[in-house]
A and B are shown apart, each in its own frame.
Chain A
Amino acid sequence: DAGVIQSPRHEVTEMGQEVTLRCKPISGHNSLFWYRQTMMRGLELLIYFNNNVPIDDSGMPEDRFSAKMPNASFSTLKIQPSEPRDSAVYFCASSFGLGGAYGYTFGSGTRLTVV
């Protein structure tokens, strides 16, 4: 298995533009997590899905952020409009079981820079 695959690896965009981050979880994993990592706040959970259904989105910063999981093999995190304070590394992780009780596999992350 290729692991959790995120794209793009790096994204530089101008303030106000729409940004879409993509994630392909490990086949067979039924929980998917989006995390954001910044120097100031460390790793924060944004949202997680179980069996393609959002279970907890309390970490999503505001309405500019949205996430979808249309099927078991694909998820997107969208920011519209983007702002400089959204600059961070965004990680996707997947696991088996509700909430990742059986271990996690992280993707390589997407480094987002909003200028």
Chain B
Amino acid sequence: KNEVEQSPQNLTAQEGEFITINCSYSVGISALHWLQQHPGGGIVSLFMLSSGKKKHGRLIATINIQEKHSSLHITASHPRDSAVYICAVLREFETSGSRLTFGEGTQLTVNP
């Protein structure tokens, strides 16, 4: 079982729909990242959060530390939101500081 699991793996939506991507993890973490990767492109950090909720434009990220679960929501989705969204958890190691462990990503396609 992967330490970080995302669902769904693939998601197709119509423009304007509300989208939710989920991330569950099984290890203790100090923070969680949501990353975005466009086809052939680099990786952009959308959010880093350790509790509660953060909002940036049409994107909202929430985390429940007790339940070890995070969600990324996109309101009023647009074709330009089509990308792979990756959940990554930051874990603390005694001798080597923090490291990211990545989920497998969710491929989102938003059709016009």
Chain A positions near chain B (C-beta within 8 angstroms):
31, 33, 42-45, 48, 50, 55-56, 91, 93, 97-101, 103-109, 111
Chain B interface SS verdict (over half): strand
A45 touches B44 (CB 8 A): no
Given A42-B102, A42-B104, A42-B105, the answer on whether A99 and B97 have CB atoms closer than 8 Å is yes
Chain B positions near chain A (C-beta within 8 angstroms):
30-31, 33, 35, 40-45, 48, 86, 88, 90, 92-93, 96-100, 102-105
Pull 19 A–B residue pairs with CB atoms less than 8 Å apart, ordered by A: A33-B100, A42-B102, A42-B103, A42-B105, A43-B88, A56-B96, A91-B42, A93-B43, A97-B97, A99-B96, A100-B90, A100-B98, A100-B99, A103-B48, A104-B33, A106-B42, A106-B45, A108-B41, A109-B41
B104: chain A residues within 8 A (beta carbon)? 42
- Nearest CB in chain B to that of A102: its residue: B48
B30 touches A105 (CB 8 A): no
Given A42-B102, A42-B105, A101-B30, the answer on whether A55 and B45 have CB atoms closer than 8 Å is no
| Complex alpha-carbon distance, A105 and B43, angstroms | 8
A48: chain B residues within 8 A (beta carbon)? 99
B42 touches A99 (CB 8 A): no
A56: chain B residues within 8 A (beta carbon)? 93, 96, 99
Task: From B40, B41, B92, B103, name the one whose CB has the most chain A CB atoms within 10 angstroms.
Answer: B40
B41: chain A residues within 8 A (beta carbon)? 108-109
